[in-house]
Amino acid sequence: MRYTGLIDKYRDTLPVSDNTRIISLGEGNTPLIRLENIPCEMGTQVELYIKYEGLNPTGSFKDRGMTMAVTKAVESGSKAIICASTGNTSAAAAAYAARAGIKAFVLIPEGKIALGKLAQAMIHGSTIIQIKGNFDDGMQLVKEVAEFAPVSIVNSINPFRLQGQKTAAFEIIEELGHAPDYHCLPVGNAGNITAHWMGYTEYHEKGKADSTPVMLGYQAEGAAPFIHGSRVHNPETIATAIRIGNPQSWDQALKLSKESNGWFDAFSDEEILATQKMLTEKEGIFCEPASAISVAGALRDIKSGKIPDGSSVVCTLTGHGLKDPDTAIAQCDTSAMINVNPTLEEVKKAILNNM
Ligand code: F0G
């Protein structure tokens, strides 16, 4: 049967009716890939998987939430949606609004969103409002303006977003045949870690999984409110997707971390970039910097023994590497590129000299 998106697939667990017009771009159903080379080099027996959410239609996990949020906005008669965003939510909002035939307004921090995400918000025809501030300022403004203007908020404070995003946990359980022992995620607003926990506990309660995973949330050192135990006023990190100091799902994340016996940890920008590069070079998997932090976390905790040998671990790679070409290219040595004349002789030489 043709795959028509996660709402159709998980209809029984989502708040939609037979009459609901579904706004979908075929999101979900993303690959769960077992890492081979990195664990082998480390000499670990941990089963390490990545859930490649960058392969969603707009290149990030946000599509899972956006299909639900826009479907419900349209169902309620909304003609416009609004969000604050570090980039991926704005890309998804712009695309799903285009699909639905409604307007999207997106507030983004000026100069602090990755090029691919900006291109997406622009080409899908959303109205882009750049603010001289960060995501947290934008989020506050979105909440205020939505009280006056006829717009539906599609940030993760919209409960339908998390309903859609919980389906990632369903897919993982179905694919593995059980819940993993550990699930590692990058944490910004903490919406996604909250949604995953909802998904895992829902399937556990329904008897579709015998256990729930330990939930591990990783942040960038310059934007790590869960490590400091309080909001951060001027968050800063190269991983712009998670450049957030005032997580909207603060209480939920603390609660689920405790319930699952989980923990939070933070990584420097250098560690984040090194992990991004390692995944591209050793496994052939290209994710954006924020996403790599889930693998950085898993590897640190495997090395230290906090994640014991023999465990199964899933890391969510939240966004595709193509979202942020500038950061990728900046990490590479462009002088290593070889420029030649279009002759067999020169091309042959270039190959033989570099075998
Ligand atoms: N990874 C990526 C690639 C993201 O874009 C985000 C959040 C996260 C991780 C963190 O997820 O907020 O649910 O904890 N991006 C939002 C945006 C804030 O506007 O695109 P979270």
- Which pLDDT tens digit goes with each residue over 166-188? 999 999 999 999 999 999 999 99
Sign of CA dihedral 170, 173, 175, 180: positive
At residue 115, φ and ψ (nearest 5 deg) are -55, -45
Distance 302 CA to ligand 1 centre (A): 24
Ligand 1 atom 15 nearest Cα: 241
What is the 8-class DSSP label of residue 319? B
To test the ligand 1 pocket, which listed residue (53, 63, 318) has its Cβ within 8 A of the most ligand atoms?
318
Ligand 1 lined by 186 (C-beta under 6 Å): yes
Ligand 1 lined by 89 (C-beta under 6 Å): yes
Helix/strand/coil for 279: helix
Q: What is the pLDDT of residues 27-73, one digit of tens each?
A: 999 999 999 999 999 999 999 999 999 999 999 999 999 999 999 99
The predicted model gives 160-165 an average pLDDT of: 98
Ligand 1 atom 1 nearest Cα: 318
* Closest by Cα among 81, 92, 91, 86 to 136: 86
The predicted model gives 226-231 an average pLDDT of: 97
At residue 104, φ and ψ (nearest 5 deg) are -125, 130
Q: Which atom of ligand 1 is nearest to the CA of 244?
A: 18
To test the ligand 1 pocket, which listed residue (30, 51, 60) has its Cβ within 8 A of the most ligand atoms?
60
Task: Quote the pLDDT of residue 108.
Answer: 98
DSSP alpha helix (H) spans, the chain: 6-9, 37-42, 62-75, 88-100, 115-123, 135-145, 159-165, 167-176, 191-205, 225-228, 250-259, 269-278, 289-304, 325-330, 344-352
Q: Which atom of ligand 1 is nearest to the CA of 89?
A: 20
Ligand 1 lined by 319 (C-beta under 6 Å): yes
Lowest mean pLDDT: which of 76-85, 155-164, 333-342?
A: 333-342
Report the percent of the chain where pLDDT is more than 90. 99
Ligand 1 lined by 60 (C-beta under 6 Å): yes
Task: Quote the pLDDT of residue 284.
Answer: 98
Report whether 185 contacts 232 (CB < 8 A): no
- In this prediction, residue 342 has a pLDDT band, given cuts at 50, 70 and 90, of very high
Task: Quote the pLDDT of residue 335.
Answer: 87
Task: Quote the pLDDT of residue 23.
Answer: 98
Look at residue 212 and tell me whether its pLDDT is greater than 90: yes
To test the ligand 1 pocket, which listed residue (55, 88, 89, 197) has its Cβ within 8 A of the most ligand atoms?
88
The predicted model gives 108-124 an average pLDDT of: 98
**In this structure, how many other beta carbons lie within 10 angstroms of the beta carbon of residue 98?**
17
| 225/266 Cα distance (integer angstroms) | 10
Q: Which atom of ligand 1 is nearest to the CA of 288?
A: 3
Which residues contact residue 232 at a Cβ distance below 8 angstroms, ignoring those fewer than 6 apart?
222, 223, 224, 225, 245, 246
**Structure tokens belonging to residue 140:** 């506050």
Ligand 1 lined by 242 (C-beta under 6 Å): yes
Which residues contact residue 18 at a Cβ distance below 8 angstroms, ignoring those fewer than 6 apart?
none
Distance 245 CA to ligand 1 centre (A): 12
| 156/85 Cα distance (integer angstroms) | 10
pTM beyond 0.95 = yes
- In this prediction, residue 334 has a pLDDT band, given cuts at 50, 70 and 90, of confident
Look at residue 332 and tell me whether its pLDDT is greater than 90: yes
Distance 60 CA to ligand 1 centre (A): 9
Ligand 1 atom 19 nearest Cα: 85
Look at residue 336 and tell me whether its pLDDT is greater than 90: no
- Mean of pLDDT over the chain: 97
What is the 8-class DSSP label of residue 60? B
**In this structure, how many other beta carbons lie within 10 angstroms of the beta carbon of residue 15?**
14
